[in-house]
Every structure is written in C-alpha cells, then in structure tokens.
C-alpha cells in the first residue's frame, strides 16, 4: 500500500471508529484545560480528572490560583507526579496571566509557550481544543503510532508533527489528534502490536506477524 493510500485509509478508518472526539480531560474553559493538560504530563487522563476537581474547588481561575501557595497546590496535585515542577508552573503561569493578560489565557501559540511549564505540545492542545485553531499536538503515543503506520521517520516528536501536518488536511488535524489517541488506547497500545489484533496494522501490513518495535523519540 502506497503512503497516500495508507494516509487515506487511516483517516477513513479513524473517522468511522471515532466520529465524535470528546476532549478526555475534564475542563470548563481555556484556563482549566491549560492546567489539566499541564498536569497530564507523565500522568493518565483518568488520574488528572480525579485531581482537578479538588484543585478547581480551591481555585478554578488565575485570580484565585495566585492566592494559593505553591505548597498548597503541591499538596493537591501530588498524585499526578512531577508535583514540584507542576505546582511551580501552575503558580507561575497563573501570576503571568493575571499580570499580563487580565486573567485570560491568550489564544496565541508563542504566548502560551512562554508560560512556565508549558511546552509546545501543551500549547498545541490548548490552541486546538480550547480555541479551535488547527494544531496537531504530538505526544509519545501519537509518535509511536505514526512510526508504526509508516507516516513518519519516527526520530522525534518534532519531525513527527511536521510529517503528520504535511500528510493530513489542516481541517482534520484537531480531530485526528484525538482519534489517534483513542485508537492507540483501544487497539494499538504501548506494549506493542503484533499485526494480528490491531485492525489498522493488520490491514496496512497484512504480512506482519511479529510485534513491532518502536524506537523512542
């Protein structure tokens, strides 16, 4: 199957399997989404969704968050992992939002990336899911599947994002980001894919019999 055929088949399959793409992180607005995405680094969405109600009960906006100490935030988000860095990031970005943006999350990629503890992937998620701006956030899960499906060289997430943006229509990026994540969780997991269970891998590579080894990016 040629790459163009693979791309078309992958897009059609994902749209059929996941016609709706709800955001897996519970949130109410751009700020609560930004905090939730920050907390999701090296933590499951399910765990984040257990912790954010506790945090947002104390502060669900930058003005209230800056009233909490870093220690207060740390105590609540500790189960999410990387709590020291994340608590400092939440406190720091909340202060900047209050001081520089009137308590609003800017709908600007560069401004988001300049916030403490907010990297390109987090900023991309907020731009796409909070503001509807086409973006293609690539985490380790999407990077893994793009490599398995022959869509990218798989060297790193930066290259994978460029490759996926080049291969898929811009208007599909936001939905595809979530569809690929949903598919990876259900069919093509981090533990591996032997080419006999995963529907897409089986169709894309019908002769594949051995588990796929994915390089780390």
Q: Is 86 a catalytic residue?
A: no
Of the candidates 67, 88, 108, 139, the residue annotated as catalytic is 139
* From 60, 86, 121, 163, the catalytic residue: 121
DSSP count for the chain of H helices, then E strands: 12, 0
Question: Among this protein's residues, is 99 annotated catalytic?
Answer: no
Q: Tell me the catalytic residues.
A: 121, 139
């Amino acid at each position: 199957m040629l790459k163009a055929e693979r791309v078309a088949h992958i897009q059609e399959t994902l749209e059929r399997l996941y016609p709706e793409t709800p955001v897996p992180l519970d949130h109410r607005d751009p700020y609560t989404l930004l905090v939730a995405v920050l907390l999701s680094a090296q933590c499951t969405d399910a765990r984040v969704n257990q912790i954010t109600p506790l945090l947002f009960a104390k502060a669900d906006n930058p003005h209230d968050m800056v009233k909490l100490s870093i220690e207060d935030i740390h105590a609540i988000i500790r189960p999410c992992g990387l709590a020291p860095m994340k608590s400092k990031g939440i406190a720091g970005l909340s202060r900047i939002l209050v001081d520089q943006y009137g308590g609003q999350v800017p709908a600007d990629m560069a401004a988001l990336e300049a916030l403490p503890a907010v990297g390109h992937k987090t900023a991309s998620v907020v731009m796409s899911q909070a503001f509807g701006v086409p973006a293609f956030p690539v985490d380790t899960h999407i990077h893994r599947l793009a490599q398995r499906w022959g869509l990218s060289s798989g060297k790193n997430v930066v290259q994978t994002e460029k490759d996926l943006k080049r291969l898929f229509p811009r208007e599909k990026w936001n939905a595809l980001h979530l569809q690929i994540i949903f598919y990876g969780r259900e069919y093509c997991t981090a533990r591996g894919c032997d080419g006999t269970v995963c529907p897409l891998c089986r169709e894309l590579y019908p002769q594949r019999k051995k588990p796929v080894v994915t390089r780390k990016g």
